[in-house]
Structure 1
Amino acid sequence: MSDSEDDPDYQPPTDEESESMCTYSDATSSEESVELSTSHQHQHSSEAIPCRSIPNSSWNIPLSDGSRKKQFPFTVDPGMKNIGSDCQTELDFLFLFLDNEIIDLMVRMTNSYAIKTQILKRVTRNSRLSKWNDCDAAEMKKFLGLLIWMGLKKLPKISDYWSTDVLYENNVAKRVMSRNRFELLLRCWHFEDAYYIGMTGTDRLIKIRRFVEILSKKFGQYKTPGEFLTVDETMVAFRGRIAFMQYIPGKRHKYGIKLFKICDDDGYTYDLIVYEGKRTTSTTQNVSSEIVMKLSDQYLNAGRSIVTDNYYTSVTLANSLLQKSTHLLGTLRKNRKGLPKELLKEKLKKGETCVMENNDGVLILRWKDKRDVLALSTRHTPSFVSVRSKRNRNKVTMKPTLIADYNRHKCAIDYSDQMGSYCNPARRSLRWFQKLAIELLFSTSLINAFILFKNSKNLTSKKYTITTFKENICRTLMGLDQQRRQGRINQDCSAGHRFGKSTLVDQRNRIVRRRCIHCYEKKREEGLTSVEASNMPADLLTKGLPAVKHYKFMKDFGIVNLE
């Protein structure tokens, strides 16, 4: 299903229009960097760049002073909020979203599904489910930590993480949880009472709706957005059987579950909506406009600007946002309703622009670059700005300020998706609601926590990446920080003791073994002094040497004292 099928404001192009259809992409922004120069804007708009304006009964020539534009001062102080002083570590910031309410929901629903499956389905005596024990919050956190770690360390199958094969062997997974227990938890991992809703509900998202609503409400509680917000869609890869499957050919994952998100310039997600078909919105207006109004509802009437692509942008949406003291900026489809036909029919040479504006201050700009670019703005005038190419820093070209601002702010959700694609733990074998939960927990929530952590610690170094953030969270969730030193000692001791080099020799010129290094370190970890740890008889036990004989041997040469 394409984006246009649910948009009644979309008019299919004719054969002549399809050749010059304006569906502006961000290819220009990926090759060029914008350098805004206010001193050159009016100069270039009036001299350097040819600009054509066509009068019309409802659309007019833009005024040079911008007197038709509505001015909305930005009245909000952006930044972090509601974060206590005790929030210091990476895990503390993740628990702002993954708090006790979310953990308790997963624990209760997972235990409920396992118990009801035992009762309602035929479970054999040798089945793993017949040996089910209820999980708790601590075990659920270890389970989530393992999922994050599996994204960091990719292996072909889940069972390979517990494999003893020399190619896959590791000591992380087996130290945290057994393979059977992990696979059983993954099988029973639920977010709603599946058996109850199967008999009563017709809601397509009922298996995860409560989880999505609780989590999405937490996103906006800890950060106030700036002046620009971006609305766009993202895809959660899935090719199974679901009624609300989407196909978007321009996305990396063409098939899957579509999410509508609103983000600011640094990629922080403030809210999201899961697309479930025509039920997602009411029938009072088109889908694209209603999605924008829903996502931006709590951020209106503050002088902000909403940035959208050509799926959402329309004159109707611009008028609705102007009534809420909010600007709209975005590219535009050529066959939207209400556009001036004279502007669309005008033939332009490369570098020329054609601009029209209505009495409400809605400006429509058509600019000829490599192809026609059609854009709408309620805050810009037909001015130009110098742009320096990223590939060739000596090359400077002119571009409309509207397009330059669009390219600068539109990449917010793309940046969020880019960070979420790194070390993603999602697998093909997961069910759709589990994949959606992994996207919300380990992509959206974790990226939000990463942004808050970097802002609070003023971390600007490129060395502290999202991967480093995930690694630190994994160690803490799975308890590996406490087990790191102890686990190394136990591992070495189980493989055989190693002894420190000694200069003492007996009467036969044989080196005298003094103590086990690892047992000595273990006793020191328990708080004993170096003398006490050295004189403990139990420390002298060695592999392959009986305790009594070894102790008597050490006593004969005065290494230990019986008194």
Structure 2
Amino acid sequence: MSDKEVIKLVNNLSKTKKIYTDEQLLQLLEREMSDDEEGGEVSDEEDTHLDFELGGDQEIDEIPDEVEDELQEFVSAGWCDNNTTTALPFSGQQAFPGRDLLNGNEPVDYFNLFFTDQFLEMIVQESNDYAESIFMRAGVSEYSRITSWKPLTVGEMKVFLGLLFHMGTLKAVRMTDYWKQAPLFSLGFGAYMSRNRFFLIMRCMHFAKNASPEDPAPQDRLYKVRPLITHFNERVKLVYYPHKNLCIDESVMLWRGRLFFRVYIQNKRHKYGVKFYLLTEPNGFILRCIVYSGKSDVLAGVGHAEKIVNSLTEDFYDAGHSLFMDNYYNSVGLAERLLEKKN
């Protein structure tokens, strides 16, 4: 929060007749700083969207009810000088039950642990169905690339994913550069899949059926990728149980295309993108993820931060985990409720 913004906030406070305690003023400043960190949704017409902003003509009495509630909770927490916190014993057992599902100890065996044949078959089926729907559209040119579509198989999908992941280790200016045939620049991708086939699979890849024009619009903005998110969260829960210490943080995946719930975060390296809330271990291993889908998200609204924490940690209650998070998520009320759940 810049000095100019602090001065602006103080000037607004001076215009109101309401009297605030030092603790309430501190809470307001922290709220403003948290808003700066969180950023906001970005529509196609504007660069930023702020959930709460104090304007020059706006009085502090118009703070939303959830802010007043948080301030009241902060004041009535009952602070004392004695440290009465008792360390909770960790009753969970760090384990890797997925070890029994491995067919070996090679990297591909760990890949198969998450990308099961059943999951890949679902992707293949949905992608084939979508490709067929494109092919059947009226007005498709006989020279269109989709006319060369052949049914996708699980084996071919594994090759596609392997090449896609390998692109993360080999940086190229354009995606077509991975299929260059000149000896000096050849990366060997063409030996496994042709360029046209790769781009055609990427064009048709689907995880769920598109909504029918006759049906009501889906309430879930993420319905097209919801099977992927659900599969990841459920699969991690099945194959791994973490150590005592857990962390909550957010990450932004770079995205500058058209997307209603794209966010803008000023102090991030990638300012535009899709926001993820993550539960991880200290080493960065992701245990659970939530994709922020805008103000219509069921986790949005009053108590947004606490809803995020509860949703991420609900599978780890009553185990004595230590949860680390920044001041955006934390509050006295949340700490008390986590203690009730022995975390």
Q: What aligned pairs does 1:40-59 form with structure 2 within 5 A after superposition?
A: 59=78
Counterpart check, 1:149 vs 2:149: no
Secondary structure of 2:251's aligned partner: strand
- The answer on whether the counterparts of 1:281 and 1:287 sit within 8 Å (CA) in structure 2 is no
Shift of 1:109: 1.1
Partner of 1:90: 107
Partner of 1:76: 92
What is the one-letter code of the residue matched to 2:197? R
Of the three residues 254, 261, 269, the one matched with 1:237 is: 254
CA separation of 1:283 and 1:277: change in aligned 2, threshold 3 A: closer
Shift of 1:120: 1.9
Please report the TM-score for the alignment, with normalisation by the length of structure 1: 0.46
Q: More strand per residue: 1 or 2?
A: 1
Shift of 1:116: 0.5
Give the distance between the partners of 2:300 and 2:186, measured in 1 at CA.
56
Q: What aligned pairs does 1:254-273 form with structure 2 within 5 A after superposition?
A: 254-273=271-290
Give the distance between the partners of 2:76 and 2:217, measured in 1 at CA.
53
Counterpart check, 1:178 vs 2:194: yes
Of the three residues 207, 228, 250, the one matched with 2:245 is: 228
Q: What aligned pairs does 1:281-430 form with structure 2 within 5 A after superposition?
A: 281-282=298-299, 285-326=302-343
Shift of 1:94: 1.4
Give the distance between the partners of 1:216 and 1:259, measured in 2 at CA.
13
- The answer on whether the counterparts of 2:294 and 2:300 sit within 8 Å (CA) in structure 1 is no
Shift of 1:167: 5.0
Give the distance between the partners of 1:197 and 1:218, measured in 2 at CA.
33
What is the one-letter code of the residue matched to 1:146? L
Give the distance between the partners of 1:195 and 1:125, measured in 2 at CA.
27
- The answer on whether the counterparts of 1:281 and 1:291 sit within 8 Å (CA) in structure 2 is no
- The answer on whether the counterparts of 1:262 and 1:296 sit within 8 Å (CA) in structure 2 is yes
Shift of 1:280: 2.5
Give the distance between the partners of 1:288 and 1:255, measured in 2 at CA.
21
Q: What aligned pairs does 1:471-486 form with structure 2 within 5 A after superposition?
A: none
Secondary structure of 2:197's aligned partner: helix
Partner of 2:221: 204
Secondary structure of 1:174's aligned partner: helix
How much is the aligned-residue C-alpha RMSD, in angstroms?
2.6
Give the distance between the partners of 2:336 and 2:236, measured in 1 at CA.
28
Segments of structure 2 that go 5 or more residues without pairing to the other structure are 1-7, 14-24, 35-74
Give the distance between the partners of 1:231 and 1:169, measured in 2 at CA.
42
Shift of 1:87: 3.4
Partner of 2:81: 62
Counterpart check, 1:106 vs 2:123: yes
Please report the TM-score for the alignment, with normalisation by the length of structure 2: 0.74
Shift of 1:225: 1.5
What is the one-letter code of the residue matched to 1:189? M
Secondary structure of 2:252's aligned partner: strand
Give the distance between the partners of 1:82 and 1:235, measured in 2 at CA.
29
What is the one-letter code of the residue matched to 2:89? P
Identity of aligned residues (%): 30
- The answer on whether the counterparts of 1:281 and 1:290 sit within 8 Å (CA) in structure 2 is no
Secondary structure of 2:305's aligned partner: helix
- The answer on whether the counterparts of 1:107 and 1:136 sit within 8 Å (CA) in structure 2 is yes
CA separation of 1:314 and 1:158: change in aligned 2, threshold 3 A: same
Give the distance between the partners of 2:194 and 2:93, measured in 1 at CA.
49
Cα offsets for 1:297-334 (capped at 9, x unmatched): 110111112111121011121121122111xxxxxxxx
